A and B are shown apart, each in its own frame.
Chain A
Amino acid sequence: MAPGTAAPDAASPGPHAALEAQIDQWRGYVRRREAISAADVDEMEDHLRERVEDLRATGLDDDEAFLVAVKRMGTLDDLSREFAQEHSERLWKQLVLVGEQPGRTRSWRELAVVLGLAAGAGVATKIATSVLDEDVVALNAALLVLPFLTAYLAWKRQVTARVVGALVVPFVALGLVLNLYPFEPTGSTLVLAVLAAPAVVWAVVGVAYVGGRWRSDARRMDFMRFTGELAVYYTLIAIGGGVLLGLTTVTFSLAGVDLEPYLDTWILPLCVPAALIVAAWLVEAKQNVVENIAPVLTRVFTPLTLVMLLAAFVVLATAGDLADVDRELLILMDAILVLVLCLLLYSVSARDPLAPPSFFDGLQVLLVVAALAVDAVALTAMLTRIAEFGLSPNKTAALGLNLLLLVHLAWSAVLATAFLRGRRPLADLVAWQTRFLPAYAGWAVLVAVVFPPVFGFV
Chain B
Amino acid sequence: MRIDKDLVAASATPLVLGILADGESYGYAILKRVDELSGGRMQWTDGMLYPLLHRLERLGLVEASWGTSDVGRRRKHYAITAAGREALVERQAQWDVVAHALQQVWRSAQDGLQNPPRVAEGWA
Q: Which A residues form the contact surface with B (CB < 8 A)?
A: 4-5, 7, 9-11, 39-40, 42-47, 49-51, 69, 72-74, 78-79, 82-83, 85-87
Contact = CB atoms under 8 A, between A and B. Distances in A.
A438 B19 CA distance: 67
A47 B27 contact: yes
Contact of B50 (A10, A44, A49): A44
Interface string B26-51: 11100100000000000001111011
A47 B54 CA distance: 15
Q: Give the 9 A-B residue pairs with the shortest CB-CB distance, closest first.
A: A74-B45, A74-B47, A79-B47, A82-B51, A50-B28, A86-B51, A73-B47, A47-B28, A73-B46
Contact of A78 (B45, B55, B71): B45
Contacts of B54: 40, 83, 86-87
A46 B28 contact: yes
A51 B72 contact: no
A264 B58 CA distance: 49
B45 A10 contact: no
A39 B64 CA distance: 12
B48 A46 contact: no
B75 interface: yes
B73 interface: yes
A43 B69 contact: no
Interface residues of B, number: 20
Nearest to A2: B74
B107 interface: no
Contacts of A51: 28, 46
B75 A44 contact: no
Given A7-B73, A79-B48, A86-B54, 5 more contacts: A5-B73, A9-B71, A79-B45, A86-B51, A87-B54
Contacts of A43: 27, 50, 74-76
A83 B74 contact: no
Contact of B72 (A10, A50, A79, A87): A10
Nearest to B74: A42
Contacts of B58: 86
A79 B49 CA distance: 10
A85 B51 contact: yes
Contacts, number: 70
Contacts of A45: 73
22 contacts: A7-B72, A9-B71, A43-B75, A43-B76, A45-B73, A46-B28, A46-B74, A46-B75, A47-B27, A47-B31, A51-B28, A69-B46, A73-B46, A79-B45, A79-B47, A79-B48, A82-B47, A82-B51, A83-B50, A86-B51, A86-B55, A86-B58
A73 B28 contact: no
Contact of B73 (A40, A49, A72, A85): A49
A45 B27 CA distance: 11
A82 B48 contact: yes
A69 B28 CA distance: 12
Secondary structure call for the B interface: helix
Contacts of B69: 46
Interface string B96-110: 000000000000000
A9 B28 CA distance: 17
Contacts of B45: 72-74, 78-79
Contacts of A72: 45-46
Nearest to A42: B74
Contacts of B50: 40, 43-44, 47, 83
Interface in B61-96: 69, 71-76
Contacts of A83: 50-51, 54
Contacts of B46: 47, 51, 69, 72-74
Given A72-B45, A82-B48, A83-B51, A10 B27 contact: no
- Name the residue in A50, A74, A83 with the highest tally of chain B Cβ atoms < 10 Å from its Cβ: A50
Contact of B74 (A5, A11, A50): A5
A317 B54 CA distance: 66
Nearest to A87: B54
Contacts of A44: 27, 47, 50
A7 B74 CA distance: 10
A11 B76 CA distance: 21
Nearest to B29: A50
Contacts of A10: 71-72
B51 A46 contact: no
A11 B48 contact: no
B75 to A, nearest CB: 5
A79 B26 CA distance: 18
A86 B52 CA distance: 8
B103 to A, nearest CB: 33
